[in-house]
Amino acid sequence: MPGSTTSAPTVDLTLDEALRVVTDALLAAGYSSEEAVVIADHLMDCELRGLSYAGLARAVSIIERLRASEPPQPVRVERETPVSAALDGGDQVGYLVASRAIGIGLEKTGSQGMAVVGARRTWYTGMFSYYLERVVDAGFVGMIAGSGPPVVAPHGGTEARFSTNPIAFGFPTADGPVIWDIGTSSITYAEVTLAGRLGEPLPEGRAFDPAGHPTTDPSAALQGAFAVWGGHKGSGLALVVHLLGMLAGASAAPRGVSDCGFLAVVVDPATLGDAADFRARAAAFADSVRATRPVDGGTAVRVPFDRSAALRAETLRRGSITVTTPVVNTLRRIAVAE
């Protein structure tokens, strides 16, 4: 969990060692070398940015889900226009489906100035900011929303109706990206899953058991519901994001970890004005936000993605990450056993 510590034993791995551990496990599970590269790159970026619950630990969940399911089908385009595409993910992991969707969106935006791409029948899509970096690097503005199985209770309730329903926006500026990426639940599915693997409690106030009582037990939370983020305002946002995922063709309440919705909108700033001027004005505005007078005793004000960029740069400089030993051992057993 962000900012939290774990009591589980840990091991330091060089970045090359960590990449090899996760790639070997993905290959042993049946992914092709090309697929393993796509998935591993995303998981390693999570580790670089300090999001360990979404990094190598997520690889274990991917492999468990893959083994428990029928073999996935190829991703295919179901509908298409010059500015849109609707994909059937074929029950492939979302890292692969979203990568394909963003590639289509970038191509269409390059030729048409904008694009909307939706995907259904996918799962575990990871950090939307990862995909938005591709969008921003191309000079475009992007929005991504995603839905999934019901695990989150709406504000005032204790039964699951929403998924963790992330939403993210990315903007190019003359001084680096501004990317805002949030989940609309008070805790992520990956955080709860990792806490369960390590036998650790959840923070107070983040989840309900099946009877609707507050719980810190990850297993009870997975059978009950997570709390929504942001009170009634966050609950409303979660509902809207869920509907956007449904717009992409996903079910309102898929069973298990399946049929997540993914909706991406990409816009070239040049369709509305001078793209270079927008990037310059966006950079100036971001700097003005950073220059805001902080509260007494507070630290400097940040713009979304500043922290991620700084943590990634520091991890790359250090050249290593710290991973819980049970996760590393599990991935190594998978690689040897298959």
Give the tens place of pLDDT for each residue, 127-156. 999 999 999 999 999 999 999 999 999 999
Cβ neighbours of residue 258 closer than 8 Å, sequence gap 6 or more: 91, 121, 123, 149
Specify the CATH architecture of the domain 76-271.
Answer: 2-Layer Sandwich (3.30)
Domain range list for the chain: 10-69+309-337, 76-271
Nearest-Å Rg of the Cα atoms of the chain is 20
**200 vs 187: CA distance, rounded Å:** 14
Token digits of residue 99: 């990568």
Q: Specify whether domain 10-69+309-337 bears CATH 3.40.309.10.
A: no
Torsion sign (Cα): 224, 229, 230, 236: negative
Q: What is the pLDDT of residue 337?
A: 80
- Evaluate whether 146 touches 263 at the Cβ level (below 8 Å): yes
**Confidence (pTM):** 0.94
Q: pLDDT tens digits, the chain, 338 residues: what are they?
A: 444 456 789 999 999 999 999 999 999 999 999 999 999 999 999 999 999 999 999 999 999 999 999 999 999 999 999 999 999 999 999 999 999 999 999 999 999 999 999 999 999 999 999 999 999 999 999 999 999 999 999 999 999 999 999 999 999 999 999 999 999 999 999 999 999 999 999 999 999 999 999 999 999 999 999 999 999 999 999 999 999 999 999 999 999 999 999 999 999 999 999 999 999 999 999 999 999 999 999 999 999 999 999 999 999 999 999 999 999 999 999 999 85
